[in-house]
Structures are given as structure tokens and as C-alpha cells.
Amino acid sequence: MTTAGVRATARIEARDDGRGGTSLPVLDGEGPLALRRVRSGGPEARVMLVGAMSGPLGGDRLAVEARVGPGARLRVGSAAATIALPGQAKGEARYDMRLDVADGGELWWLPEQLISAGGSDLSVSSRIELRGGARLVFREEQVLGRVGEEPGRLTSRLTVRRDGRTLLDQELACGPGAPGGWDGPAVLAGHRALGQLVIVKAEFEKDPPAARPLREYAALTPLAGPAVLVTALAPDALLLRRVLDEALNELT
């Protein structure tokens, strides 16, 4: 840790163990990013991301890298919500995720919500590289402000690529200093919880789900490839999770 904030990277590597299961030759956390393997009772490996310190705070640079090899199955969650806080150091905090899934590998990325507390300034970047028949379930949930609190500034970018071809590349900025209209009827419409679910699997190549609304503020959209995107807005994190879980159960 320095006066400029914390620098930390957590790394996960999952491989087919040759016995019908998944091994984790690399499971390495730093600073506030602690990793724990949890019992799965099946062929997949399960990892929990445990926040060992508060944050991300202003000036922090945090990153999570995960690689899933051919035939390996990995499910990653988090023990609690992540709260972006102002901190003592000035400047933007960054939280970068780099996920790589080989042909025949499978990754379920299901962390708890990210909460943008008042006064914070956080930029989140998630870049996912898939190859061949890789399978992906990726959930992202963001809550703007704690109860009775205005949100901090939050910028989030999600990029998903398959065999070098972009399936999804989108960015959203919310909170103080964000482009005008972010809270208006064309974007968040006053809601404070937003989330998305990206599912990539070969079955969608022949039988893609049709685009349709799921609830008043939720929709399913097929992507250019064997993938679908579910986006949702809600007044609170509980309802947001319920909507995304319904879509997850239907699509998987």
C-alpha cells in the first residue's frame, strides 16, 4: 500500500484434472483480494473472493485474472458485496477483471453486488476472452448509493469476445460528473439497482432465444454469436437479483 492507494491482483487458473474434476494450480490473492476454494461436490471447482480489507478506495488499483483451460469448470462468487468508498487518497479507483476461457472450458462468474457509496469514484472494466465452444455465465450487479445516500461516480465497461470477434462492448457512467441524462427516462429512469447477465453456449447457435421483455424494466437480447444479454433495472438489489435469477434459471 502507498499514498496513492493499494495495488493488488488475484489470480485463478483452472485445469481439467484428468479424473472428471477441476484442479486449481494457481489460486493466489493479494492485499484486499483473498481467494478461498470451497467444496463443490461435483466436477466444477468453486472459488470464493473474500474482501480482506475495505474498498476499493480512492486511488486503489485492483485486478482479478482467471483462466479456465479445456475441459475445466470454474464457478466464482464473492462472500459479500463490494463497496466503493472515497478513501483518503485522491483520484479514481480501478477494478479490472480479465477472464479467459478455452475451448471446452466453462466459467460461471457470479459475484455479489458492487455498491457505489457517496463520494466514491470507481472505474470497473471486465474483459472476457472466449475460444471455440467455451461456455460462460457472467453476472454483474451495481447499486448506486447506500440507503438514503446519493451515489458516487461509477464507470463500468464490459467487453466479451469469442475467437477474436466482439460479441458485446458497452460502457455506462453514472453519478456526479457523468454525462447528463444518466438518471433520466432513457437510461436508469430513477432506479438505483442495475444489472446484466451474459450467457454464451453453443446451443444458442442453432436455437437462439427470441428478443423479448422479461419485466417492465428487464429485457433479453440475442447477441451476434451463441450468446444472449439480459439487462435489468430495479429499485433495490433484492428485486434485481430476483429478476436475474429468473432469467438464469430459464436460460441454463
Residue linked to cell 444489472: 195
Q: What are the pLDDT digits (tens) for 16-48?
A: 999 999 999 999 998 889 999 998 778 999 999
Q: Are 82 and 111 in contact (CB under 8 A)?
A: yes
Residues 211-218, mean pLDDT to the nearest whole number: 91
Domain count, the chain: 1
Q: Is 166 inside a domain boundary?
A: yes
Which residue has better confidence, 177 or 34?
34
Q: Is 140 inside a domain boundary?
A: yes
Cα distances (Å, whole numbers) of residue 241 to 44, 149, 159, 225, 252:
23, 21, 22, 26, 16
By CB atoms closer than 10 A (0-12, 13-18, 19+), residue 193 is buried
pLDDT for residue 52: 59
Q: Is 93 inside a domain boundary?
A: yes
Q: Is 2 inside a domain boundary?
A: no
- Highest mean pLDDT: which range of 83-87, 125-129, 178-182: 125-129
Q: Is 112 inside a domain boundary?
A: yes
Predicted confidence band of residue 1 (pLDDT cuts 50, 70, 90)? very low
pLDDT for residue 171: 94
How do strand 227-234 and strand 218-222 relate by DSSP bridges?
A: antiparallel
Q: Is 1 inside a domain boundary?
A: no
pLDDT for residue 228: 96
Between CA 190 and CA 195 the distance in angstroms is 14
Predicted confidence band of residue 54 (pLDDT cuts 50, 70, 90)? low
DSSP for 132-176 reads TT-EEEEEEEEEESSTT----EEEEEEEEEETTEEEEEEEEEEST
Q: Is 173 inside a domain boundary?
A: yes
Q: What are the pLDDT digits (tens) for 119-134?
A: 999 999 999 999 999 9
Residues 38-60, mean pLDDT to the nearest whole number: 84
Mean pLDDT, all residues of the chain: 91
Q: Which domain holds residue 216?
A: 7-251
Q: Is 241 inside a domain boundary?
A: yes
pLDDT for residue 251: 93
> What's the pTM?
0.93
